[in-house]
Structures are given as C-alpha cells and as structure tokens.
C-alpha cells in the first residue's frame, strides 16, 4: 500500500491493518477475521437537549459493541467534536484487543457523543449525559456492557450515568466504572491509566538497560492520562522536558517541576504560560528532541508527514491510536520503537475491572492493594509482549496484537460464534 492510499484509511480501517497482519501471521480462520471486521452492535442515537439559552440542540451519540466473546462489553465514553461513528468503532475494536491482552474477562466497546463539553455549562453536560443514557441504556448492563470515562468525560459524568441508569433500572453501581470513590468508585482509578503508562516506561528502561534518571520525556495532553503520566513518571525519576494541552505547550530542556505545573494549571486552566519554560505549539512539541515521546491526547497526531521529523528515541502510545499506519511504518523504517496503545494505556481498563469486581462483591480494596495488583498485571503483560517480540522477531505492536487476537479467536471458536 502506498503512503497516499494509507493516508485515506478511516480510523477503523487503520486498526484493522494490525488485525489483518496478525491474522496472517497466526493463520487465523477467515471466518473469525470476517466477524472481527465489523461490530456486533452499533447504536446510533439522536439526542435532543434543551440548552441553557432555551434552544434545542440535537446531538448525535453512539454506543458500539465490537466483540463480546470474552465477556461483557467494556469501554469508555468520549465527549468530543470529532467522536463520529467510525472513530468510536475503531476505539471499540481496540478495546477488544486491549482487554484480551490484559487477560480481562471483557469484550470491547466504546461510546461517544459529538459535542464540545468545554463550551457547555455543567448543567448542559449533565442533561446531555442523562439523555444519552436514556437512548443507550437498553444495551447496557452489569453483565452486558459497562461504560467508563474517556476524553471529555470524567468521574462526575460517570456519577450522572449511574444515577440516570438507576432511575430506570434500579440502583446499579457496577453499571459504570471510573465513578467517584464516594459512589462506589475504586481507589486509584483516576490515576490508573497514567500509572500504567509510567510503569511501561519504567519497564522499558529495564528492557533497554537505561536509567529513568538519564531520560528526557515529552508528553502531549495534560488531561487525565497525560497529567498522571507526568506526575508518576516524575516520581519514578524521569525528567519531563515538554508538556502541552489544547491551548499550547511548554518546553524546558533542563526539566519541568510537575507540582509547580499543577499549581499553575489550577489557576490558568492550562499548562500554557508556565514558567520557567519556552512556549511551543503542539506540532513543535511532537518534534522536540527527547528519549520518550508520549502522545496522551488525540488520535492520529503522528502521520506520514511529520514522522520523519520525530526526534524521540521511542514513542510510548498513551492515547488511543495516536499514530496512523503510514506514520507507524515511517517510524519503523527509521528504527524508532513504538510501544502500542493496547498495552501502554491498559492500566485504566484494568482498574475498571477491579472496580467492577469490587462493586459485584460489595467490597472495597485499599489504594495500596489496587496499585500493587495493577503493577503486577502491567509488568507481566509488558514482559509477555517484549518476550514475544524476541521469540517471533516482531515489533511490539505486532506482538501485542498476536497475543490478543489468539485469545479473542479462541474465545470466538469456543463460544461457537463461527
């Protein structure tokens, strides 16, 4: 496939490139591959919401359930202007493979509403969230489909979802994960994705026999994932030299004090403007010289056009699908290793699994127990993937997809789906 053709791939077609490549290596049955090309169910809903100015706004929302062979569907809800059906479908596919890679008893799903929560009042987001649950509630269930937060949603959104679901179906805290701790959320869920990312970075230093104290890191995105990655990576000993969010970026080659950034963020609502640091654009940030580049915001930010200018020694995919297939090929050709999203950012869904099990058992684990169990699983999966790269001579993304596709295909066959 030429670069021009690859650039035209939709998000779901891009994810499928990894699945097809794995299926060819593993000689997966064509019937299984056919089943995995599309979603098991896609709900597309028109969601009318009366805005604060009394005008009616009709939002479009989705819940996509990709494959449930390994257990109930699991995946976040994204509130973002670009959250169209194909992006949500691609993210649902990634969840199938991410849950399988972590050996969690879940299938893959994702939801989204095309909206810009940063331009809506809190009451508007509350009304939208409740209306969304009214439209997709019939496909959810504690043993059917369990949403969680993603871009543009958070613990408060999950609290509203749980409440809206409960009004119709009865009190069911396990219907969503990533809830506030006061409503049955798990300790450690807020930091879990970033903790998983930082743990993969630390284990990668073990793998490449380097020391975090000698390594410089650039992170794009300072939301849930980016900010926790920065805090925990900083604690581990990495030097964070670049950060950004939607309003802009900052760069200081001598290192950025993350606690001071958090103080600045609390006042300014952005990392932009923090000192001492130089301002940089998001495009410049991705091209800064560093050891590890961690995209932790949007998808497809590294592509054929900018891949040649990436100066990082390795790219750690904290966001979902931050590299297009042609961007990935260009980085591979330059010998820049990429640690894949389905491994790197799986800490979130892993602690979501802990939250779901705690809700079912009506029991609470301590933060120390959650973090210790997460650490064990992330480290084991990291080394399983890297071990597979050595055994098969594959790259980390291929190894991660091979492990997960084997598990998903086995469950599909055992269930008798094909």
Torsion of CA 305, 298, 201, 289, to 10 degrees: 40
* Site for ligand NAD contains 244 (CB under 6 A): yes
Q: Which of 231, 348, 374, 404 binds ligand NAD (CB under 6 A)?
A: 348
Tokens of 226: 């980016």
* Site for ligand NAD contains 149 (CB under 6 A): yes
> Going residue by residue from 196 to 215, which x/- string records binding to ligand NAD, judged by CB under 6 A?
--------------------
Give SS3 for 358.
Answer: helix
Report the site for ligand NAD in 156-195 (rule: CB under 6 A).
193
Q: Which of 18, 126, 177, 345 binds ligand NAD (CB under 6 A)?
A: 345
Residues forming a β-bridge with 43: 63
**Number of shown-chain residues binding ligand NAD (CB under 6 A):** 24
Report whether 201 contacts 236 (CB < 8 A): yes
Stretch that binds ligand NAD, among 7-15, 219-227, 232-240, 385-393 (CB under 6 A): 219-227
Q: Which is nearer to ligand NAD, 102 or 330 (CB)?
A: 102
- Provide DSSP, 226-262: HHHHHHHHHHHTPEEEEEEETTEEEE-TT---HHHHH
Report whether 332 contacts 338 (CB < 8 A): yes
Q: Which is nearer to ligand NAD, 246 or 360 (CB)?
A: 246
Q: Which of 137, 141, 223, 273 binds ligand NAD (CB under 6 A)?
A: 223
For residues 258 and 227, what is the distance between their CA atoms, to the nearest angstrom?
9
Q: What is the DSSP letter of 102?
A: T
Report the site for ligand NAD in 245-304 (rule: CB under 6 A).
245-246, 282, 296-298
Q: Which of 8, 37, 98, 110 is catalytic?
A: 110
Q: What is the DSSP letter of 177?
A: S
Burial of residue 23 (number of CB atoms within 10 Å: 0-12, 13-18, 19+) = buried
* Site for ligand NAD contains 319 (CB under 6 A): yes
Cβ 414 to ligand NAD, closest distance in Å?
28
Cβ 297 to ligand NAD, closest distance in Å?
3
* Site for ligand NAD contains 320 (CB under 6 A): yes
Cβ 86 to ligand NAD, closest distance in Å?
15
Report the site for ligand NAD in 32-71 (rule: CB under 6 A).
none
Q: Catalytic annotation on 216?
A: no
* Cis peptide, bond prior to residue 276, ω within 30 of zero: yes
Closest CA to 340 of 248, 257, 407, 403: 403
Cβ 411 to ligand NAD, closest distance in Å?
22
Closest CA to 212 of 222, 203, 221: 203
Active site residues: 110
Binding site for ligand NAD (CB under 6 A): 149-152, 193, 220-226, 244-246, 282, 296-298, 318-320, 345, 348
């Amino acid at each position: 496939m030429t670069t021009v053709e690859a650039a035209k791939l939709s998000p779901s077609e891009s994810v499928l490139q990894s699945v097809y490549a794995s299926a060819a290596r593993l000689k997966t049955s064509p019937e299984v591959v056919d089943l995995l090309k599309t979603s098991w169910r896609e709900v597309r809903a028109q969601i009318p919401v009366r805005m604060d100015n009394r005008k009616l706004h009709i939002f479009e929302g989705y819940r996509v359930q990709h494959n449930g062979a390994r257990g109930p569907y699991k995946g976040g809800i994204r509130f973002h202007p670009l959250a169209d059906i194909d992006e949500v479908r691609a993210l649902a596919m990634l969840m199938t493979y991410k849950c399988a890679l972590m050996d969690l008893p879940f299938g893959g799903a994702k939801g989204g509403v095309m909206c810009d929560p940063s331009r809506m009042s809190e009451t508007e987001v509350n009304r939208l969230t409740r209306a969304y649950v009214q439209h997709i509630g019939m496909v959810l269930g504690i043993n059917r489909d369990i949403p969680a937060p993603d871009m543009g949603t958070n613990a408060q959104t999950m609290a509203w979802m749980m409440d809206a679901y409960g009004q119709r179906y009865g009190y069911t805290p396990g219907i969503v994960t990533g809830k506030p701790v006061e409503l049955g959320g798990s300790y450690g869920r807020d930091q879990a994705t970033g903790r998983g990312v930082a743990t993969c970075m630390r284990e990668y230093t073990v793998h490449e026999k380097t020391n975090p104290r000698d390594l410089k890191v650039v992170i794009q995105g300072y939301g849930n994932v980016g900010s926790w990655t920065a805090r925990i990576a900083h604690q581990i000993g990495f030097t964070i030299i670049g950060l950004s969010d939607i309003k802009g970026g900052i760069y200081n080659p001598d290192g950025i004090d993350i606690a001071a950034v958090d103080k600045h963020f609390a006042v300014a609502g952005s990392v932009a403007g923090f000192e001492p640091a130089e301002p940089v654009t998001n495009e410049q940030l991705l091209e800064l010289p560093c050891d590890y580049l961690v995209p932790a915001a949007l998808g497809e930010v590294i592509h054929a056009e900018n891949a040649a200018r990436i100066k990082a020694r390795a790219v750690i995919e904290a966001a979902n699908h931050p590299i297009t297939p042609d961007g990935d090929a260009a980085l591979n050709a330059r010998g820049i290793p990429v640690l894949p999203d389905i491994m790197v950012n799986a800490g979130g869904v892993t602690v979501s699994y802990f939250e779901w099990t705690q809700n079912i058992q009506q029991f609470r684990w301590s933060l120390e127990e959650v973090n210790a169990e997460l650490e064990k699983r992330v480290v084991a999966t990291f080394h399983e993937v890297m071990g597979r790269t050595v055994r098969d001579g594959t790259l980390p993304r291929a190894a991660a997809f091979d492990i997960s596709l084997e598990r998903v295909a086995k469950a599909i066959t055992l269930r008798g789906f094909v």
